[in-house]
């Protein structure tokens, strides 16, 4: 039996979330599951120690049940040519992982994932021959013998996982991977026993579940990640999913973990603009059908929302993958009554999923130590070695520099020229669909207070004011770049900062100069429905064409509903850039398509390869496609980049005596390009670690 966490105040706020649950094979100390998420440490056997540190940190933070990233049962199912495989060589080294988790009184499952046609290599095999939108390689059709061998490989990998100390395994049957490919008519037109109707399509998942149960024995836990909505045309119906779920429990599955959408789906499922807990209606329907615990997942980041889901009987456990990247100690903080100090995940995907899909190691924008626990270490200092540290600028870089320095034991004063913390992140929180960014700032406020950081708002220190410090960390950020645009009356020219701060307003016909991340955000700010669909699950689903899976296979309309009056602001918006590349080319790999789809839906007119000339009463004069033209607009919003603000660094050098204070320039003050918050926050932690 697991040891529950101490909870002097926590259970009064989270009585269900923090309560233990008997899963049949064993008990977990709370209802929080760290859902499977590939982090780039699974692929090399030599990274097992790093993976152990990463997962062990979450176990020490109080997570009830951990599920690893996906490991393929054989070569054909690897995600990449050298991807993670649950073979004897690899799993022999996993004892360090399971030991680390068990020593922290955690429980851990190994996830088995066969990529099928999503595999990024020429050995890819699937239900039929063909190519997915995610891979340049054409998969071959698994023969009947190949299907049988795949079942055997799942069973053997499961046996090896138990030998390595895992408490059980999870079978990945969702997100469009191999088993999902066999289940959906869209990808399974076979005429043998592994196709030919719904019963044949579900034969492989059921056979694998039965073989795995036999291989792992009666003491180990078997979880199956089931797709509740495929969100692709010609996917499964709800009736087919329900029949599969009941069949899986008959095969010995102990837990059903829920997944939503295939990776190729054109409906977002986890990005910031998806409403919180948008998919619990489907989870609740599943829970009514089966007698095993059901795990709710996807965009459940707020512990209060998680508690409500459980209290309402919509699920038995809550999967939190990215939130536990952001804060590995989330459960312990809830138990200790420190919910306000939980590091808030903002679902940006920038440092986690975007990195993984680029073949890099995952981390977290708001927690750069995630995935780097053995390399980026914040070692506490003694009171005798504590330094006086001034941090100038309370944007993301400054906030994290102040916090990390104070948590190490240094004496920190944070200066901010304005009356609010947040910098560019505070502006981003005003974009419809990015409301969670405000929660991240509130989390920083609470953690800074708990760490004893002195905050001086509305204070712009002079160089001489900083001479009494050992270290000065300049996080003074950026200012919007001003472009030279000859004007003779005509449209009002404003900066994006003035617009988002409310110091200026846009008219009904707007040109946005600059189509990077900020330009796209401004276009959405000017055109998004009010109130934001992110705050209304039903409206959001209508907007994206999500329907009942019995109404339409896969749960997605062939053509999303076009709502005549969805609250959009009546504006004509032009988004312009000098480059010939695709608008929004620099946006995140897993989120950029969502923003581009929103621009299309809003009717934003996009212009590439533009040369700007001048402004007059007729509008904005420019050249596009070698043709001179005039845009009849009343407002021009400039989103043409930023300039670093770092004058204070030179001023300190001029007035300081000796070697102190040491000056460290970080964030936008160091490099203004693309307002990279991930780089800025990582740089802040690295500087703090080196003090």
Report residue 426: phi and psi, to 5°.
Answer: -65, -35
Output the average pLDDT for the chain.
94
pLDDT at 218: 96
Write the pLDDT tens digit of every residue in 393-407: 999 999 999 999 999
Report residue 492: phi and psi, to 5°.
Answer: -75, 135
**What does pTM read for this prediction?**
0.94
Q: Is 177 helix (H, G, I), strand (E, B) or coil?
A: coil
* Chosen CATH of 384-479+643-690 out of 3.30.1330.20, 1.20.1050.10, 3.40.50.720, 3.20.80.10: 3.40.50.720
Q: Summarize the confidence of residues 281-301 as an average pLDDT.
A: 97
Q: Look at 251 and 583; give whichever has higher pLDDT.
A: 251
Q: What is the fold, at CATH topology level, of the domain defined by 21-358?
A: TIM Barrel (3.20.20)
pLDDT-based confidence at 484, cuts 50/70/90? Answer: confident
**Radius of gyration for the alpha carbons in the chain, expressed in angstroms and rounded:** 26
pLDDT-based confidence at 673, cuts 50/70/90? Answer: confident
Write the pLDDT tens digit of every residue in 485-516: 999 999 999 999 999 999 999 999 999 999 99
pLDDT at 568: 59
Write the pLDDT tens digit of every residue in 532-567: 889 999 999 999 999 999 999 999 987 554 444 455
* Chosen CATH of 483-529+570-640 out of 3.40.50.620, 3.30.200.20, 3.40.640.10, 3.50.50.60: 3.50.50.60
Catalytic status, residue 177? yes
Are 354 and 590 contacting, i.e. CB atoms less than 8 angstroms apart? yes
Question: Does the pLDDT of residue 412 top 50, yes or no?
Answer: yes
List the one residue out of 532, 534, 515, 507 whose CA is nearest residue 636: 507
pLDDT at 672: 87
In the chain, what are the domain boundaries?
A: 21-358, 384-479+643-690, 483-529+570-640
What b-and-e string marks burial along 181-198, b requiring 16 or more CB atoms within 10 Å of the CB? Answer: bbbbbbbbebeeebbeeb
Write the pLDDT tens digit of every residue in 4-42: 444 334 557 899 999 999 999 999 999 999 999 999 999
Write the pLDDT tens digit of every residue in 441-471: 999 999 999 999 999 999 999 999 999 999 9
Instruction: Note the residue count of the chain.
Output: 691
Exactly one of 177, 415, 437, 612 is catalytic; which is it?
Answer: 177
Q: Provide the edge-to-edge strand list for the sheet that holds 619-624.
A: 487-488, 611-616, 619-624, 627-631
Q: Look at 659 and 256; give whichever has higher pLDDT.
A: 256
Q: Summarize the confidence of residues 476-480 as an average pLDDT.
A: 94
Rounded Cα–Cα distance for residues 88 and 160 (Å): 7
% residues pLDDT > 90 (the chain): 90
| SS3 letters across 459-522 | CCCCHHHHCCCCEEEECCCEEECCCCCCEECCCEEEEHHHHHHCCCCCCCEEEEECCCHHHHHH
> Count of CB atoms within 10 A of residue 614's CB?
12
Report residue 539: phi and psi, to 5°.
Answer: -65, -40
pLDDT at 9: 43
What b-and-e string marks burial along 165-177, b requiring 16 or more CB atoms within 10 Å of the CB? Answer: bbbbbbbbbbbbb
């Amino acid at each position: 039996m697991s040891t529950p966490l101490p909870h002097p105040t926590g259970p009064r706020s989270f009585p269900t979330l923090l309560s233990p649950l008997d899963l049949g094979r064993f008990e977990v100390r709370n209802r929080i599951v760290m859902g499977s998420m590939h982090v780039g440490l699974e692929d090399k056997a030599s990274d097992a120690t790093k993976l152990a540190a990463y997962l062990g940190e979450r176990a020490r933070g109080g997570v009830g049940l951990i599920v690893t990233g996906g490991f393929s049962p054989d070569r054909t199912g690897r995600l990449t040519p050298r991807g993670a495989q649950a073979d004897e060589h690899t799993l022999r080294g996993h004892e360090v992982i399971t030991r680390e988790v068990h020593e922290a009184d955690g429980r851990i499952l190994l996830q088995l994932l066969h990529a099928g046609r999503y595999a990024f290599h020429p050995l890819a095999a699937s239900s039929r021959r063909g190519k997915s939108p995610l891979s340049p390689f054409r998969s071959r059709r698994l023969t009947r013998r190949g299907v049988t061998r795949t079942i055997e490989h799942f069973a053997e990998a499961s046996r090896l996982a138990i030998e390595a100390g895992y408490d059980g395994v999870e079978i990945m049957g969702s997100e469009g991977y191999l088993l999902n490919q066999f289940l959906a008519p869209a990808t399974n037109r076979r005429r043998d026993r592994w196709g030919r109707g719904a019963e044949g399509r579900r034969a492989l998942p059921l056979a694998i579940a039965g073989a795995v149960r036999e291989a792992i024995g009666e003491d180990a836990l078997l979880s199956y990640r089931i797709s509740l909505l495929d969100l692709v045309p010609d996917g499964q119906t709800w009736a087919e999913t329900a029949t599969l779920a009941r069949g899986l429990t008959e095969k010995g599955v102990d837990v059903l973990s829920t997944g939503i959408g295939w990776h190729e789906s054109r409906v977002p499922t986890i990005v910031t603009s998806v409403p919180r807990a948008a998919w619990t209606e489907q989870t609740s329907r599943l829970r009514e059908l089966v007698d095993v615990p059901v795990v709710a997942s996807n965009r459940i980041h707020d512990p209060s929302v998680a508690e409500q889901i459980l209290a309402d009987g919509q699920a038995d456990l809550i999967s939190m993958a990215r939130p536990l990247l952001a804060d590995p100690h989330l459960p312990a903080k809830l138990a200790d009554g420190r919910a306000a100090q939980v590091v808030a995940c903002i679902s940006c995907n920038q440092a986690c999923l975007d990195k993984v899909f680029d073949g890099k190691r995952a981390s977290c924008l708001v927690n750069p130590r995630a995935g780097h626990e053995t390399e980026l270490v914040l070692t506490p200092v003694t009171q005798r070695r504590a330094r006086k540290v001034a941090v100038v600028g309370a944007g993301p870089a400054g906030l994290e520099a102040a916090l990390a320095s104070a948590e190490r034991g240094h004496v920190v004063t944070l200066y901010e020229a304005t009356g609010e913390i947040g910098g560019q992140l505070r502006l981003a929180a005003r974009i419809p669909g990015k409301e969670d960014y405000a929660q991240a700032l509130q989390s920083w406020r609470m953690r800074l207070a708990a760490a004893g950081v002195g905050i001086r708002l509305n204070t712009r220190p002079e160089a001489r004011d900083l001479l009494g410090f050992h270290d000065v960390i300049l996080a003074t950020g950026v200012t919007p770049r001003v472009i030279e645009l000859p004007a003779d009356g005509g449209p009002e020219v404003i900066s994006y900062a003035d617009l988002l701060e409310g110091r200026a307003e846009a008219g009904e016909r707007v040109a946005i100069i600059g189509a990077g991340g900020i330009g796209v955000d401004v276009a959405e700010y000017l055109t998004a429905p009010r109130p934001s669909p992110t705050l209304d699950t039903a409206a959001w689903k209508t907007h994206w064409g999500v329907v009942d899976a019995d109404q339409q296979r896969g749960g997605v309309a062939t053509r999303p509903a076009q709502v005549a009056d969805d609250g959009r602001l009546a504006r004509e918006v032009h988004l312009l850039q000098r480059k010939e590349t695709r608008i929004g080319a620099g946006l995140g790999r897993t989120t950029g398509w969502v923003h581009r789809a929103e621009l299309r839906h809003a009717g934003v007119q996009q212009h590439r390869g533009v040369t700007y000339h001048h402004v007059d009463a007729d509008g904005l004069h420019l050249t596009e496609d070698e043709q001179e033209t005039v845009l009849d607009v009343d407002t021009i919003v400039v989103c043409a980049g930023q300039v670093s603000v770092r004058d204070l660094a030179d001023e300190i050098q001029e007035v300081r005596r000796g070697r102190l204070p040491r000056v460290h320039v970080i964030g936008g003050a160091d490099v203004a390009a693309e307002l990279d918050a991930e780089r800025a926050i990582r740089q802040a932690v690295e500087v703090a670690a080196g003090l």
